[in-house]
Structure 1
Amino acid sequence: MEFILEIFIVAFILLVALAFYYEHPKAEIPREVDQRIKLYMVHYVINFVFGLGKIVEKLGICRQLYVLKCFMYGIPPWKSNNLFIKDLKFAGLSSRVYQPKAPSAGPRRGLIYFHGGVGQFGSISMYERLCRCVASESDSVVVCVGYRLAPKHPYPVQFWDCLTATEYFMTTAEEYGVDPTRIIIFGDSSGGTLTAAVCQALVSRTDLPKVRAQIMIYPFLQGMDFNLPSYQQNGSIPFLLKERTLALGMQYLNKDLSFMKNILEGSHVPEDLKLKFRKWLSPDNIPMEFKIRGYKPHVSASYSEELHNLAKPLFETTFSPLLAEDAIICQLPETYILTCEYDVVRDDGLLYKKRLEDNGVPVTWFHLKDGFHGALLLLDYWYLSFPCGRRAMDNVVNFIKGL
């Protein structure tokens, strides 16, 4: 029995070592981040899961993504004392509705939430705590959409699912005690991408109520330039590392990862698109205060037509909403954008903020100077929570209450 236990311990140690070897969990934790050791520990756990996923995929057991999905499924909280929580189908899509139990003088605001996970992992359960906080603290009805995930359901199914669920909620809002004119679309990370894309798709719809507002938490908004100041400064800062960002995006689009290095260097962008998008996607549009930690203007590598053809989905507005035309942007609803200083996609949010403001769209912007990608997701997860996540939630709730 002791021999079997020793074999098991040795095998487990080897598995841990291999997982770390495959993922190379190096990280830079800025001194300005509160509770740095905790962030470092969580980063190591996440890297272990990514590495373990690679091992089981190489062994032919299952794909890496399935390991990530299991790990990020989420830990449900206890029964709520102040919310009615129901699992329903919205146009055939799994959704969870959070309704405050307290009486209301009239119809409430309604929020439809799109979770992050790069269209491949994440779940309603993973975002249970966040949605409960929003519903309870803002006295709003919240719907979290369980859109279908890649690779089983290839991109852009995720966008169409979110659009379908939004249309359904808008037409049935009154059944949930919601004012149809006070519906807010809300998402974090790639859920922020979906939020922007859905809002853009709805601007010309006359058969539906107008979206009251959109809320985007550290959104990914463009797949054209991976050398903006935030990518240069924060490429090794948890949780969204620079290369991991593109790797997950390419997997989402079902593209070959062997072209990643060339895309990171900008070889997928032809000169005519550079000229077209320069006014929207130029580092010159990023305030100098966000360059002082270091920025070197990037010179793109030689253009490859083959790579451009492969990477065309990166330019679609369902993947890169920042590239939408001004005729669409100017019709968007009031917007809230949260950015984090130590986040590779920080500048996506800053650039979208400027685009919206230049087109006359009211923008409320909140910047977490000690924040990092994923800070809000860890809210209310006991020891794993970070103070910046609580501040972010308080600010988001205050915005919602003002609508």
Structure 2
Amino acid sequence: MGLLYAILLGAGGMIAIGFFLLLSWAIYYDLSRSNIPAGFDHPLKLRFVYDILILMFAMGKILEVMGLCRQVVFVRFLLDLRRLAMDPSLSSKDLHFDGVPVRVYQPKVPSAGLRRGFVFFHGGAGMVGSITMYEDVCRKIAKESDSVLVSVGYRLAPEHLYPAQWKDCFAATVHFMQNAELYGVDPSQIIIGGDSAGGNFASVVAQQLVERSDLPKLRAQVLIYGGFQSMDFNLPSYQQNGRVPILFREKILHFGLQYFLKDASLSHDLLKGSHVPDEIRLKYGKWVSPDNIPEKFKRRGYERVPLAPYNPDVYKQLPELHQLTFSSLFAEDAVIRELPETLIVSCEYDVLRDDSLLYKKRLEDNGVKFRWFHAENGFHGVLNLFNIGFLSFRSGIEILDNIVDFVKHL
């Protein structure tokens, strides 16, 4: 018995030492690679969150190298660990809409009439994130806006390649629109929205629905710090926030290539812009231009970087990047004009900030009614950090409060 105890104690000690070394490496990696601007509130708190994420991905990579588990599966598992007590004012039910897993949240208090419906697409680069991970976000929106909310569990890459993600979002939305009254929802009062990759999917679904005359028109869309173009990765926000946790510019390229199962070595060509054909530069350059970014967003530093000469070999490997179902900013004016009322959310310290500003400009130029909320101390992913104790960030609460207010006043 004493020998077994000594073995277990020794194993525990080795694990503790290994974890300490891994944590030390994560802190070193953070301090040596990231750059949090001087004006940002709570930099230490952000570093702590980022260090946890570094640890998660590093542990996942170790398990993958050992042949025990793929990194992405391990990260998904950890992100789904958090559990919350169900709000007694809401009911929830797991269903399938046209084969797509969804969770439907409904207020228990009877309504005098049909309610609004909100279809939510979670973020996570199309590779992580889930209904469970976004449960607290969805509950808050459903409860405080008195809406029936449908959280969509679309298929994830790399197991399911593009365009599976937005197509699942589209299928679930269409099903809900066709059956809205079964859930006490007015089919003319349906909103779609999402954050990060989910914001991209929402913009694509809204554009696709413009062509569907057999369905009710969307009442609104909510686009939360999404990515809407893959043409220029040297816009002001990409330069200013390229090393701000939790999403670096290099990680956007890395995750994007993983999402499409492409060679990671292409990231350098993407950064330079050599993947963009001359005809696309000519056609879309007027929309993806730093000239469309207000000057106040260039004050933290910006140097114009022209796109590198076009390389056909690179483009042939990445044709999906310029499709309208990925780069939704490229939609024609005739489609943009038909979009519903929109809430655009951007964050000052987000590498994707300027994608939101450019999409907002498209809406403004085409007379689409919109509201814009800019989180002055926000960063990418802050929505998920609105209620986790001492690691909560006020910007996450402000974003959710603005979403609720937008929905309630439609």
Partner amino acid for 1:263? L
Query: C-alpha displacement at 1:402, in angstroms?
Result: 0.8
Is 1:19–1:50's contact at 8 Å kept on the other side of the alignment?
A: no
**Which whole-Å CA distance do the structure 1 matches of 2:362 and 2:41 have between them?**
31
Q: Flag the 1:3–1:100 CA change in 2: closer, same or farther, 3 A.
A: closer
**Which whole-Å CA distance do the structure 2 matches of 1:211 and 1:329 have between them?**
13
TM-score (normalizing by structure 2): 0.94
Query: What SS is found at the alignment partner of 1:125?
Result: coil
**Which whole-Å CA distance do the structure 2 matches of 1:61 and 1:19 have between them?**
22
Query: C-alpha displacement at 1:15, in angstroms?
Result: 4.4
Q: Are 1:373 and 2:384 counterparts?
A: no
**Which whole-Å CA distance do the structure 2 matches of 1:292 and 1:117 have between them?**
30
Q: Flag the 1:367–1:274 CA change in 2: closer, same or farther, 3 A.
A: same
Q: Are 1:144 and 2:151 counterparts?
A: yes
Residue of structure 2 in register with 1:3 after alignment:
10
Is 2:30–2:47's contact at 8 Å kept on the other side of the alignment?
A: no
Is 2:118–2:192's contact at 8 Å kept on the other side of the alignment?
A: yes
Q: Are 1:284 and 2:291 counterparts?
A: yes
Q: Are 1:349 and 2:361 counterparts?
A: no
Residue of structure 2 in register with 1:83 after alignment:
90
Is 1:221–1:322's contact at 8 Å kept on the other side of the alignment?
A: yes
5+ unaligned residues in a row in structure 1: which ranges?
A: none
TM-score (normalizing by structure 1): 0.96
1:99 pairs with one of 103, 106, 130 = 106
Is 1:19–1:55's contact at 8 Å kept on the other side of the alignment?
A: no
Partner amino acid for 1:65? V
Query: C-alpha displacement at 1:61, in angstroms?
Result: 2.7
**Which whole-Å CA distance do the structure 2 matches of 1:212 and 1:275 have between them?**
34
Query: What SS is found at the alignment partner of 1:259?
Result: helix
Matches within 5 A, 1:387-398: 387-398=394-405
Q: Are 1:195 and 2:202 counterparts?
A: yes
Q: Are 1:384 and 2:391 counterparts?
A: yes
Partner amino acid for 2:394? P
Query: C-alpha displacement at 1:103, in angstroms?
Result: 1.8
Q: Which moved more, 1:165-174 or 1:356-365?
A: 356-365
Residue of structure 1 in register with 2:343 after alignment:
336
Is 1:107–1:179's contact at 8 Å kept on the other side of the alignment?
A: yes
Q: Flag the 1:9–1:380 CA change in 2: closer, same or farther, 3 A.
A: closer
Q: Which moved more, 1:128-137 or 1:77-86?
A: 77-86
Q: Are 1:32 and 2:39 counterparts?
A: yes
Q: Which moved more, 1:31-40 or 1:1-10?
A: 1-10
Residue of structure 1 in register with 2:3 after alignment:
none
Q: Deviations over 1:220-244 (max 9, x none)?
A: 1111111000000000111111111
Q: Flag the 1:240–1:308 CA change in 2: closer, same or farther, 3 A.
A: same
Residue of structure 2 in register with 1:175 after alignment:
182
Matches within 5 A, 1:212-361: 212-361=219-368
**Which whole-Å CA distance do the structure 1 matches of 2:398 and 2:12 have between them?**
46
Identity of aligned residues (%): 51
**Which whole-Å CA distance do the structure 2 matches of 1:77 and 1:253 have between them?**
33
Partner amino acid for 2:353? R
Q: Deviations over 1:44-102 (max 9, x none)?
A: 11112222223223333332211221122251210211101111111121111111111
Q: Deviations over 1:327-368 (max 9, x none)?
A: 211111111100000001000000000011111111110101
The count of residues paired between Structure 1 and Structure 2 equals 403
Residue of structure 2 in register with 1:399 after alignment:
406
**Which whole-Å CA distance do the structure 2 matches of 1:9 and 1:233 have between them?**
38
Q: Which moved more, 1:14-23 or 1:120-129?
A: 14-23
**Which whole-Å CA distance do the structure 2 matches of 1:339 and 1:315 have between them?**
22
Query: C-alpha displacement at 1:400, in angstroms?
Result: 0.6
**Which whole-Å CA distance do the structure 2 matches of 1:65 and 1:95 have between them?**
22
**Which whole-Å CA distance do the structure 2 matches of 1:73 and 1:6 have between them?**
28
Residue of structure 2 in register with 1:67 after alignment:
74
Is 1:23–1:51's contact at 8 Å kept on the other side of the alignment?
A: no
Q: Are 1:126 and 2:151 counterparts?
A: no
Query: What SS is found at the alignment partner of 1:86?
Result: strand
Q: Deviations over 1:13-68 (max 9, x none)?
A: 44445667888863222333322211110011111222222322333333221122
Partner amino acid for 2:374? H
